[in-house]
Structure 1
Amino acid sequence: MPGLTKEDVKITIDDGVLNIKGEHKEEEDGGSDDDSWSAWSHGYYNKILVLPDDAKVDDIKAELKDGVLSIIVPKTEQSKKDVKQVPIN
């Protein structure tokens, strides 16, 4: 998310769905006394991810550093599952 600050990014969790939204607004004015100009740049980002059933929703952490958003989703300890092989007919 280059160019965005943590104030530009919103992360929400609702019913097992992680929603990441980012919005970039930039306004630039320039020129000289005889010639002036203005430019606007606008970008919007939205990503929706379904969390696994064993995600610890209350322990999710996020960090935005140097344009890279890192989200850590810890999972609960699960008991060892038996692997069952399915025969092929």
Structure 2
Amino acid sequence: EPGESAEDCLIREVREEVQLEVTNIQYMGSQCWPFPHSMMLGFHAEYAGGDIVPQADEIEDAQWFNVHHLPPLPASRSIARYLIDLYVARRLGLAEPVLPG
């Protein structure tokens, strides 16, 4: 939305698309995508409330996962994978990954 910060956008989009409230937003990095000339912004946030209710026309599926029982992950050079790997590393006390360039 015009005039909206990236953090406020994240809060709004999470609320609209999966009905969850988040707090403690932390920017983790960004990654350019050649098509359609966009930039992916990566954040970590803490769950603050609500039950997952995916917005049917936007989200195919949304679930919680245990760090020891993750589903198949995104490609290793994607920011999505980096965000997951970083979260898991911090939870398990492992070396943190490097954001792919």
Q: Same fold (TM over 0.5)?
A: no
Task: Provide TM-score, normalisation by structure 1.
Answer: 0.25
Greater C-alpha radius of gyration: 1
Structure showing greater relative contact order (alpha-carbon pairs closer than 8 Å, 6 or more residues apart):
1
